Copies of this chain bind each other. A is one copy, B any other.
């Protein structure tokens, strides 16, 4: 299979950035990878683990980048625009930039507003990852069988979009197109809301008084599955929450009205209606693997 890019840069060598690096090397679609980060430890670890070929500290005063064809920003979502702003003067004409942020509206509009002519940006979001973080959790098959959302705009140009699309496909992901707005509405519901509910459930239990009992001692498989995502990186989720504030608040309100309805049915003893709600949820959920 043909090489897609000679040299690429990945900013943020954590779980996602590291996995992209490993995947791209494994499929031989790139030749060299420059890892860029503000954390010396992550960079050292990424080099030791041979996830990247060169390490560049984003904090250093003099950064030189040469002949980079693709820059993938895999940092926490709130820093993506700042990172791009910092790197832009160092990039060659024709460079393609993409990202992996879980929010697209603010990221895409922020980058589009500072992008010079001749440099192209395609927003991206691979639906992959786990509650784990750090480059030590990275692995090259992470994207196999996943979907990656791309949100091209007028600033993307067709050739660049095609190359980024190929990149994701070659590492095992199926590319889906959305507008940034569509993306943020869908992911507020299917991803951001469940994370907030998981964090909230754990905290609800921890602050209640159960006298002699610690309820967490009786957590079964259901509770553990349900709250697994409450182990997710708090700093990362802080960013997501504020970058997608409106859609998230909207999703919380929709959820609360469903829960209010359920509560009302229980209170009034509406057994048939409650059963209908449970059956509906069971039917829908059972279609997912």
Residues of A within 8 A of B (CB): 127-131, 146-147, 149, 176, 178, 182, 185-187, 189-191, 193-208, 210-213, 215-235, 237-238, 241-242, 245, 248-249, 251-256, 258-259, 262-263, 266-267, 269, 271, 274-275, 277-282, 284-289
Determine whether the beta carbon of B234 is less than 8 Å from that of A249: no
Main SS at interface, chain A: helix
Shortest Cβ-Cβ A-B pairs, 3 listed: A234-B278, A202-B281, A199-B281
Cross-interface CB contact of A226 among B197, B210, B212, cutoff 8 Å: B197
For residue A279, which residue of chain B has the nearest CB?
Answer: B234
Q: With A and B bound together, what is the CA distance between A212 and B55 in angstroms?
A: 42
Determine whether the beta carbon of A203 is less than 8 Å from that of B245: no
Cross-interface CB contact of A267 among B232, B249, B251, B255, cutoff 8 Å: B249
Determine whether the beta carbon of A196 is less than 8 Å from that of B275: no
For residue A254, which residue of chain B has the nearest CB?
Answer: B204
Chosen A-B contacts, 7 in total, with CB atoms closer than 8 Å, are A186-B215, A190-B223, A201-B255, A202-B285, A204-B255, A219-B288, A227-B285
**Max count, chain B CB within 10 A of own CB: residue among A269, A275, A287:** A275
Determine whether the beta carbon of A266 is less than 8 Å from that of B284: no
A144 → chain B, closest Cβ, in Å? 13
Cross-interface CB contact of A197 among B186, B187, B201, B203, cutoff 8 Å: B201
| Contacting residues, chain B, for A274 (C-beta < 8 A) | 238, 241-242
| Contacting residues, chain B, for A241 (C-beta < 8 A) | 266, 274
| Contacting residues, chain B, for A224 (C-beta < 8 A) | 288-289
Determine whether the beta carbon of A190 is less than 8 Å from that of B208: no
Q: With A and B bound together, what is the CA distance between A228 and B289 in angstroms?
A: 9
Q: With A and B bound together, what is the CA distance between A220 and B254 in angstroms?
A: 21
Q: With A and B bound together, what is the CA distance between A189 and B77 in angstroms?
A: 33
Determine whether the beta carbon of A282 is less than 8 Å from that of B231: yes
| Contacting residues, chain B, for A263 (C-beta < 8 A) | 249, 252-253
| Contacting residues, chain B, for A207 (C-beta < 8 A) | 258
Cross-interface CB contact of A222 among B229, B245, B285, cutoff 8 Å: B229
